[in-house]
Amino acid sequence: MSISLTLLGLLEGGPSYGYDLKRAYDESFGHAKSLAYGQVYSTLSRLLRDELVEVDGVESGGGPDRKRYSITEAGRRRIEEWLSTPEKPVAELHNTLYAKVVLAVRSGRDATEVLDRQRGAHLARMRELTRRKVEAEPGEQLVHDYTLFHLEADLRWLELAVTRLEPLAQEVSQ
């Protein structure tokens, strides 16, 4: 996920301080990992440099000055472009699991064991996400559903892979 574009999108709701942006990000997107303050401020510096945000006010206090940021018209155009552009599907043929299966077959190891262990890990993760989803807020439920659907697709691939191990063994031994 693009943190800079996400922060830019959060600024569309109105001017905000870095601390408030971090809190809004963590509430909406930080389910697995919260955003570090340093990352927020370095991202805001880049957005400021690229003229996608501007300083909308400075508040002095006991510590460093607090800057309030707002999105510029160029920032609004960039968000509109980003939101209207579909994400590239990430299904790639040569992933780590595929490599493990091929290497297990090539080395004479039992590739079924590799696939079975992976299936077990997927099922355990799916059970955990399903438990967490029951108590989650709607936004977090959507995140869990997204992950569950991807894990389900992976499980279908794992089942199919077991049926293709013999032809794969013949292919890689040639």
Per-residue pLDDT tens over the stretch 132-161: 999 988 988 999 999 899 999 989 989 999
CA 53 vs. chain centroid, Å, equals 24
Q: Which 3 state secondary structure label does DSSP give 32?
A: coil
pLDDT digits (tens, 9 = 90+) for 42-99: 999 999 999 999 998 888 777 777 899 999 999 999 988 888 776 665 555 446 777 7
Nearest-5° Cα angle at 40, 37 to 43: 145
Q: pTM (2 decimals)?
A: 0.62
3-class state of residue 116 by DSSP: helix
pLDDT attached to residue 93: 46
The whole-angstrom separation of Cα 120 and Cα 19 is 41
pLDDT at 72 (0 to 100): 97
- In the prediction, which pLDDT does 87 show? 65
pLDDT at res. 6: 87
pLDDT per residue as tens digits for the range 112-139? 988 898 899 889 999 999 999 999 889 8
